[in-house]
Chain A
């Protein structure tokens, strides 16, 4: 206890101590798991690192996986700054993919920049619209946003399935349920011959802007205050309801953007299951990062790398890729455990009489 307290004397050092402890706990848990499935842990760690960042290609795949997770984490983070718990990033992602694809289907021959903008803005609007219902229900009824956003996730996923099996199915795809391919004019540019696309840059720019708004402006401060104590709307004159709607819409737009970027650039067409767990991973990332933007971005990149490593691992070793889902779970557990323990050491919840 004493040594921990001494080590954690400054915030920066405390952060390093936490990171080191988290890595240590994770390594121990993951080693146990690898031994239990009959794999040498040391080799496995090397393979994971190699599959995640061992080559230009591996780094690229990691970044591709990280992009939608980062956007979905930001989608969770914005409402969370007002104390809302939205778990609807998956549904908003699907809704963004639908409306963005709808923009393509409406004006397939529009000039490039117009079409690309329409597709991207459509994605953002779609995500925001999907968040609007839960936002209004929370602000004015009130129905808890966690339940409503969660339920709407399945509705949006089903809607995509229904569209790609029906009205929007590409007649040339011979039975494969998917929309037409996105033309190059409707796609964000990619970096060289990798699959890394400008969506990542867009997400990073948006993250910087968001961080500035949340930490430097009056709007961000109002969210901090109302999250702390919603009854302060009488003292401050800042109403909670419009801010519930605003944060939910902004969050929805982030997830919608993830959906349309994934659809247009990475998969190239609208099809079922495009979320690939990004919404849930994003929720966990934002939550573990304490709803702070820089930590969220860093953690999203890390989680993206681990997930991408899973795909590589399957090829390089005899381990099924589902094993990396376990590894990812252990990583979350390690982060949670260390976060909780450090809160205890700092004496949170041990009030003085």
Chain B
């Protein structure tokens, strides 16, 4: 396979009044991994959608191997050897892995046989790229990381020479991300051009050869990965030198228990007991599917309890059969807020008032709601700061900030936050993290379900690990190492009484 050279020359794209990409030029070469970094809304996804023919440029042009090309639709880009894997997978969950591949395969014979068994090439392709996966497995039953690998296999099946991955690690656990990085390196070794859209410098360190950084629609920096220090990359991304991360607040000894969980069973969660004290940040870690999202859902009222009890400052908060009610003292920041915590076509003002919806006066004054919305919008810098704008039009990061702004309105005494920084850019991540640290410093109990182990260990006081629906370890975050936590996460270290041993 001849290594491809894809040149984007002076591409511009505006969406009505928003300039998404402005005069952006970039070279993408075979045999090389290019990490394309930028904050949310910097234009990196749009630039790659231009390269993939999903969006047509207002100005500029694209060249492949020094030949000018024009993409009217993704099929033109696919024909030219460009493939893209999105955050929202395009696999059909109810079909088997092999059927999904057969659907995408341009050379699929007309007669596939039952479960697409006839073309043996598909199984060989799969065994090479995603070894260990049963081609007959129902795609929806597979872990996210595996499905992503199948998406990549699907793109390669269409004879792509350039593979674009849109924020691939945002949905992965550390172990899955490691596997992805290895796959990306292997692709580059085989001569493919790989573009990794990301905002994590960890991805750069793990697998990139070259770094390009976008800000406000422009490519503002480009360098070999080895020459671009993290601080430099962040400076390119946000335009200013990054502030040092805040330290975890010191914790007074013997503060009272605020959030108490006893014998909690809910769906996959089995018999979880946990105390979070005033001023304490407890991190919950676990590989995806270990029940941590279900635990967060049970605590935030999204999932009914099968057994057990949760109390906040001695008051019953959740119990089996008890309908979920908003509690001002509990800030609940669920995973995937777009689906669980937001009314997308309602205004920011209404969304900020959701916890108080049932106690609004019978005649709702929208002007008053809009007035009340200004302070929280300003406090968390939700953009655009228009209280009338439908919440669903916000970007992921601003939506997350909106939910946090709402939940922190009532001076909570406890916070349950599930992946609160997922998908956020550097600035927004620091903002959210600092807000939680400040709350803890002021005596709030913080339970933080996180995906980034280094982050959790740096900011929490204690870290508990979930495996197979149970809490299997309770470690002091000051002394625990990522390796130690990783062993508990993988379930290889289950001892007779882990909680006592760890303490």
Contact = CB atoms under 8 A, between A and B. Distances in A.
Interface of A: 216-222, 224-225, 228-229, 231-239, 347, 352-353
B403 to A, nearest CB: 9
Given A219-B362, A352-B20, 6 more contacts: A218-B364, A231-B340, A234-B324, A236-B355, A237-B358, A238-B357
Contacts of B324: 233-234, 237
A216 B344 contact: no
B326 interface: yes
A57 B354 CA distance: 52
B67 interface: no
B interface, over-half SS: loop
Contacts of B326: 235-237
A219 B363 CA distance: 9
A155 B332 CA distance: 47
Contacts of A231: 302, 339-340
Contact of A225 (B49, B340, B354): B354
Contact of A352 (B18, B300, B343): B18
Nearest to B324: A234
B29 to A, nearest CB: 23
Contacts of B357: 218, 221-222, 225, 236-238
Interface string B1-43: 0000000000000011010100000000000000000000000
Nearest to B357: A236
A232 B341 contact: yes
Given A234-B324, A236-B357, A238-B357, A221 B339 contact: no
A232 B46 contact: no
17 contacts: A216-B364, A217-B363, A221-B350, A221-B364, A225-B343, A225-B346, A229-B344, A231-B340, A232-B341, A236-B354, A236-B357, A236-B358, A237-B323, A237-B325, A237-B326, A352-B20, A353-B49
Per CB-CB distance, the 10 closest pairs between chain A and chain B, nearest first, are A228-B343, A353-B45, A234-B301, A237-B325, A234-B324, A236-B357, A225-B343, A218-B360, A353-B46, A237-B326
A342 B364 CA distance: 31
Interface residues of B, number: 35
Nearest to B302: A234
B364 A217 contact: yes
A242 to B, nearest CB: 11
Nearest to B49: A353
Contacts of A232: 341-343, 354
Interface in B26-80: 45-46, 49, 54-55
A229 B354 CA distance: 12
A216 B350 CA distance: 13
Contacts of B49: 353
A174 B15 CA distance: 73
Given A218-B360, A236-B354, A353-B49, A228 B300 contact: no
Contacts of A238: 357-358
B345 interface: yes
Contacts of A216: 363-364
Nearest to A241: B323
B339 A235 contact: no
Contact of B345 (A217, A219, A228, A234): A228
Contact of B346 (A218, A228, A234, A353): A228
B363 A224 contact: no
A83 to B, nearest CB: 11
Q: Which of A218, A225, A233, A235 has most chain B Cβ within 10 Å? A: A235
A235 B345 CA distance: 16
Contacts of A228: 343-346
Interface string B342-384: 1111100010001101101111100000000000000000000
A239 B55 CA distance: 42
Given A234-B301, A236-B326, A218 B343 contact: no
Contacts of A352: 15, 18, 20, 46
Contact of B332 (A221, A229, A235): A235
B354 A221 contact: no
B343 A217 contact: no
B39 to A, nearest CB: 14
A145 to B, nearest CB: 21
Interface core residue of B340, B342, B355, B357 (most chain A CB under 10 Å) = B357
Given A218-B357, A352-B15, A229 B342 contact: yes
A138 B179 CA distance: 45
A353 B46 CA distance: 5
Contact of B354 (A218, A235, A353): A235
Given A228-B345, A228-B346, A353-B55, A239 B323 contact: yes
Contacts of A239: 323
A153 to B, nearest CB: 31
A233 B300 CA distance: 12
Interface string B238-251: 00000000000000
A183 B199 CA distance: 78
Nearest to B341: A235
A231 B332 CA distance: 14
A35 B55 CA distance: 43
Contacts of A229: 339-340, 342-344
